Amino acid sequence: MKRELYTKMKKTKKLKFSIENAILIVSVFLLSLLISPYYTDGDQFIYRVVYEGLQGLNLKDGYAFYIFHLDSKEVIHFLLSWLATNQEIDKDLFMAFSNAVLAFAAVGLMRKLNVSVWIMALLLLTNFYFYVLYFAAERLKFGFIFLFFSLLYMKRFYIFTLLSIFSHVQVIILYGSILFKVLFRQTVNLIIKLFSKGKIKKKSLIIISLLPIILFLIYFALSGHLESKFQYYYEKAGHSLADLVRIFAFFILTLWYAKNKEEVVLIFIPLVFSVYLIGGERINMMAYFVFLYYALPIRKGFNIGVLITSSYFLFLTYGFMVKIIEHGDGFYGY
């Protein structure tokens, strides 16, 4: 009898948790439907022009139209936009659905990290960087969707990684940080084994050989686009001291919560270097999500680091929303 009661309570708890998660995802969807129509200027102005212009075009002409107007070759965002607009799906509805998918991926990853549903709600419904992904950084949003899926479904990590990179090439910086960590560790282990035992495992040697080759192939496929984007962001960067202060703040916080300190140092080295090269606007967003990945499992997210940063970003979110409603652009005046 007690066993049956325990099983019933366990099932009820799971059902309740799933309902709470569903409410969060639906809330993001409804919030997007409410706010998206106001975002008509800034980057969204050209995104709307492209979305409407793709309707009725075949795949080849549509891609040429897309590249000409956005100066972007990220094929995943193009394909999804082309399919949606040719199904006569409203742009704001398409974005609301995409935001719901982002929320679904984020909730799944946070569940994996054993995060409280209240912290999930705090991040998904108030966090500045999530709002930037919801309403402004349209292509980067799809990069993060597949990034979250790659961390959620590790057996399909490489498939989702490729989809993420071909959604927005900038996420290669974050994956590059992970790759740097792996290569550094493997190289150090190989050197230690070589000097201590005089031999190395074939598997380790293959991994070290294959990873740079894979990275080179990705670079070869996107080289022209990577170079143009690098030049654009390098000229725009300005190398602000504030950007370096922010990323070092995220680094210190991540180091505080991470059990493996060496791993954090290795991941942040390419991120800090990238801030110097192309500025901190997007890199600090990536650094913040790295911080969350390490901090959220601590006390289910109820820790001082997550709560303080969330309070700070809530203030930024308020200003961002006011600008969207009043000016049609969350970054108006920047």
Tell me if 172 sits within 8 A of 146, measured CB to CB: no
Alpha-carbon torsion 164, 167, 171, 176, what sign? positive
Q: 286-299, pLDDT tens digit by residue?
A: 999 999 999 999 99
Q: 108: which 2 tokens? A: 């799944």
**Least-confidence region, from 167-171, 202-206, 282-286:** 202-206
Q: Say what angle helices 128-135 and 2-35 make with each other, to 10 degrees.
A: 60
Q: 113-167, pLDDT tens digit by residue?
A: 999 999 999 999 999 999 999 999 999 999 999 999 999 998 899 899 999 999 9
Q: 127: which 2 tokens? A: 């966090």
Residues with Cβ within 8 Å of 313's Cβ and at least 6 positions away in sequence, in order, are 126, 127, 128, 129
Q: Give residue 333's pLDDT.
A: 78
Q: What single-letter amino acid sits at 285? A: M
Largest CA distance in the chain: 70
The three-class DSSP label of residue 296 is coil
Nearest to 171 by CA among 53, 281, 283: 283
Rg (CA), the chain: 21
Query: Whole-prediction pTM value?
Result: 0.83
Q: Is residue 307 pLDDT above 90, yes or no?
A: yes
Q: Give residue 192's pLDDT.
A: 62
Q: What single-letter amino acid sits at 287? A: A
Q: Give residue 97's pLDDT.
A: 97
Give the separation between CA 314 and CA 311, rounded to whole angstroms: 5
Nearest to 148 by CA among 94, 177, 111, 95: 111
Q: Give burial (CB, 10 Å; 0-12/13-18/19+) of 172.
A: buried
Give the separation between CA 7 and CA 85, rounded to whole angstroms: 47
Residue with tokens 């140092």: 265
**Least-confidence region, from 6-10, 229-233, 293-297, 325-329:** 6-10
Nearest to 110 by CA among 300, 254, 309, 281: 300
Distances from the Cα of 260 to the Cα of 76, 217, 263, 265, 275, angstroms: 34, 31, 6, 9, 23
Give the separation between CA 33 and CA 88, rounded to whole angstroms: 17
Q: Is residue 17 pLDDT above 70, yes or no?
A: no
Provide, for the chain, the percentages of residues in helix, strand and coil under a 3-state DSSP scheme, each rounded to the nearest 5. Answer: 85, 0, 15
Q: 76-103, pLDDT tens digit by residue?
A: 999 999 999 999 999 999 999 999 999 9
Give the separation between CA 134 and CA 98, rounded to whole angstroms: 8
